[in-house]
Amino acid sequence: MRVLVTGGAGFIGSHLADRLLAAGHHVRAFDSLDPQVHPNGPPDYLDANVELVVGDVRDEAALGKAMDDIDAVVHLAAVVGVGQSMYEIRRYMDVNTVGCAVMLEQLVARRERIQRLVVASSMSIYGEGQYRNARTGEGGLAPSLRPEAQLAERRWELETAAGDALEPERTAESKPLLPTSVYAISKRDHEELCLSIGAAYNVPTLALRLFNVYGPRQALSNPYTGVAAIFASRLLNGHAPVAFEDGLQTRDFVHVSDVARAFHLATESTATGAALNVCTGEASSIFDVAQGLAQGLNLAIEPELVGRYRAGDIRHCIGDPTRAAQLLDFRADVDVKAGLGELATWLADQEADDRVDEAMDELRQRGLER
């Protein structure tokens, strides 16, 4: 099978390319090599057997040519970063939403050949995760963001209007989507555009809702990438990782090797028309992840708890892996402790520009950090 991976020179795309090559597929990576992610041009980690085409996903002619002899498309290309998306609104919507639309127009023109479309969605489209009422036991609750007045009082956990505590539970794909950032809205666009066009033109399509992906090859000098990479860039420069609120907010950290396997399974699956969580189903606090990385690097640096919060931030979101297990036979293999240890081993030989303070200043000046 000939597979086009948009964003294929990136963190997830390169790991997927390795898997596809090992399975005997031809891989073409279409990537803009955005300097924020690839400051030194094509990355050394990209396998020499990957056919790299440098181009912008919004360029109809370039992307169409890259699709001409392709059997399956995995669409990963996107500008990533929740905070930055809140002030670079046009760029995020242009690259992500318009870029996805361009990709789909080119795919539809070649629908007689292209057998499969898999698109990267994101857990960010949920907004807050799924909760249950601690007093009544009622589950499946989908609360909105915490009120500004509550956050101003530094009361971080969610509660009902009556004051009942809400406890996080695993978030299922059926939870209403309540995206709280421009980035999240653009990823919802990715998912909904691809699933609707796939259904209309009979192109089998799956959307994978990725939770917090971490592992080797993350862009360490990009202060808008995943939290594990942001913490790593701080630690590699001898600085304390910065944790907002009290550091006890939780996420579902899924290793990039598991994510690449999920995409590989999706390209070869017969399932279609579904959105699936790619997650572990286990909660990890932001504080524990920062501490685990420091320990893995043998650094006695504790996370800095700043007691501030960012507009649009959520408190807890842990995925329900049931549906992916049923439709793809996918289950995450790497637990977060082992995964952070592997990441720390890779980090030991890396260098990173710590631009986190610069990014935080940008948010603060715009009133997005309080």
Catalogue the active-site residues: 183
Give the Cα-Cα-Cα angle 21, 10, 260 (nearest 5 degrees).
50
Structure tokens of 266? 């999706």
d(CA 251, CA 123): 10
Q: Residue 176 is which amino acid?
A: P
Query: Are the beta carbons of 187 and 127 closer than 8 angstroms?
Result: no
Q: Residue 332 is which amino acid?
A: A
Structure tokens of 271? 């399932």
Q: What is the dihedral of CA 299, 347, 230, 88, to 10 degrees?
A: 160
d(CA 265, CA 128): 28
Q: Is 332 strand, coil or helix?
A: coil
Laid out side by side, the sheet with 205-210 consists of: 51-54, 26-31, 2-6, 72-75, 116-122, 205-210, 274-278
Residue 310 gets the label, from left (phi > 0), alpha (psi -120 to 50) or beta, of beta
> Hey, CA dihedral for 156, 158, 160, 166, is it positive or negative?
negative
Q: Is 201 strand, coil or helix?
A: coil
Query: Are the beta carbons of 359 and 233 closer than 8 angstroms?
Result: no
Helices (H), 165-283: 182-200, 227-236, 256-268
